[in-house]
Copies of this chain bind each other. A is one copy, B any other.
Amino acid sequence: MKKVLMKGNEAIGEAAIRAGCLNYFAYPITPQSEVAEYLSKRMPEVGGVFLQGESEVAVGYMIFGAAACGARVFTTSSSPGISLMSEAISYIAGAECPAVFVNIMRGGPGLGGILPSQGDYLQATKGGGHGDYRMLVMAPASVQEAAEMVMQAFPLAEKYRNPVMILGDGLIGQMMEPVMFPDHLRTEPSNKDAWATNGMDTRRSDKRNLVKSLYLDPNVLNAQNLKLKAKYEQMKREEIRFEAYHTEASYEALIVSYGTMSRVCKTAIDNLKEEGIEIGLIRPQTLFPFPEMAIRQACDRPECRVVLSIEMSMGQMLEDVERSVQGKKPVEWYGKCGGEVPTPEEVMDVVRSFLKQYGKE
């Protein structure tokens, strides 16, 4: 198990294969087209399938179709492409099929730009599609973490029979880092005979499964929604992941930040520490479920005077941070959403400025 230097987008593609996923359907869009390029060559080598759909709408339903047959399947896209898959994602969640969606976010709204962004936080965590469903959303901050999260996403999708989204930004997709693919993350789907359609292959299972999201009886649909809700509550109990950085210290401010943005924040925190300013960081690794309790407790420390949501979006995570903080401390936002990642210096200035604003009495 040795490390290889890979671009994030390639590592994402390779990770899916290493996880045991041999079905990849996609439609090209900057800045994630390298995944498709990589897998167009790699999938045939491993006996897998790469199929380009005629649009993202089609890809969403190709994913649904494969998932309904019990196949491990995933797609990658970027912001506008994910919007076009919104209806299908809702159908997949409603029909309780497992599938993995990777969103390498670009600047929005609309065409926006092709540079990195975190502008799809709300779409990913609150549901771009219609109806009462959620996706389990994981946000990597390095190529290695992206690879591992992709590998973990498949068994998680199958555990919950629900779509899982890897929410990366363009930088994660484009940067090169050494990466390894842990063998123990290679898994086998275990339970698909219980629910997947199996065509005419009676050797596989003689159970006749029906995959659907239509429930015309209101009591049955309500029960189905309560069942889904119970799964999302279970996610909140079992799947929350976050990194606490420098929270052993007596920090004056708590930063909440994820993905590429959190790496910059860590550098800023290290630099500020040298200046004698202690700052803590909570980095959500899952965006849904959100580490509410961790943030609530971390902000409750008496020295902490302010909580900062630092994002490459215009305050999308801010609402979740506010909800977590419950009014215990002031919550402020800083961010940029055009493609340029704020520098450590910018973050340092922002922190100093807010510390001044919420100065010691």
Q: Which residue of B lies closest to A337 (CB)?
A: B225
Complex contacts, A214 vs chain B, CB 8 Å: 110-113
A108 and B83: CB pair below 8 A? no
Report Cα–Cα, A228/B218, bound state, in Å: 40
Q: By the criterion CB–CB under 8 Å, are B110 and A91 in contact? A: yes
A95 to B111, CA, bound (A): 9
Collect the chain B residues with CB atoms within 8 Å of residue A92's CB.
110
For the complex formed, measure the closest distance between the CB of A99 and the CB atoms of chain B, giving whole angstroms.
13
Interface string of A174-210 (1 = CB under 8 A from B): 0000000000000000000000000010000000000
Complex interface residues of chain A between 103 and 123 (CB less than 8 A to chain B): 105, 107-115, 117, 119-120, 122-123
Which of A41, A108, A323 has the most CB atoms of chain B within a 10 A radius of its CB?
Answer: A108
State the number of copies, please.
4
Interface assignment of A4: CB less than 8 Å from any CB of chain B = no
Tell me if A220 is interfacial: C-beta within 8 Å of chain B: yes
Q: Residues of B contacting A132 with CB < 8 Å?
A: 108-109, 119, 313-314, 316, 337
Contacts of A315 in B (CB 8 A): 229
Q: CA of A336 to CA of B228 in the docked complex: distance in angstroms?
A: 13
Q: Are B57 and A54 in contact (CB under 8 A)?
A: no
* Contact indicator per residue, chain A 127-148, by CB within 8 Å of chain B (1) or not (0): 1111111000000000000000
Closest to A109 in B: B131
A133: contacting residue among B109, B226, B340, CB under 8 A = B109
Q: Which residue of the partner chain, among B95, B115, B228, B323, contacts A319 with CB atoms under 8 Å?
A: B323
How far in angstroms is the closest Cβ of chain B from A295?
A: 13
Given A132-B119, A218-B338, A314-B132, A110–B127 Cβ distance below 8 Å? no
Q: Which of B54, B114, B128, B336 contacts A129 (CB 8 A)?
A: B128
A326 beta carbon closer than 8 Å to chain B: yes
Contact flag A127-B123 (CB < 8 Å), given A212-B111, A222-B336: yes
Of A126, A129, A219, A226, most B-chain CB atoms within 10 Å: A129
Contact B110 A222 (CB under 8 A): no
Is there a chain B Cβ closer than 8 Å to A94's Cβ?
yes
Question: Which residue of chain B has the shortest Cβ distance to A112 in the bound complex?
Answer: B131
Q: Does A339 contact B (CB under 8 A)?
A: yes
Are A84 and B87 touching (Cβ within 8 A)? yes
Complex Cα gap A91–B112 (Å): 9
A339's nearest neighbour on chain B, judged by CB, is B218
Q: Given A90-B109, A338-B223, A338-B225, do A130 and B314 touch, yes or no (CB 8 Å)?
A: no
Among B90, B112, B212, contact of A108 (Cβ-Cβ < 8 Å): B90
Kindly state the separation between the CA atoms of A218 and B216 in the bound complex, as whole angstroms.
40
Residues from chain B with a CB closer than 8 A to the CB of A123 are 126-130
10 contacts between A and B (CB under 8 A): A79-B130, A83-B128, A86-B128, A109-B228, A112-B130, A215-B338, A217-B338, A219-B338, A222-B337, A228-B314
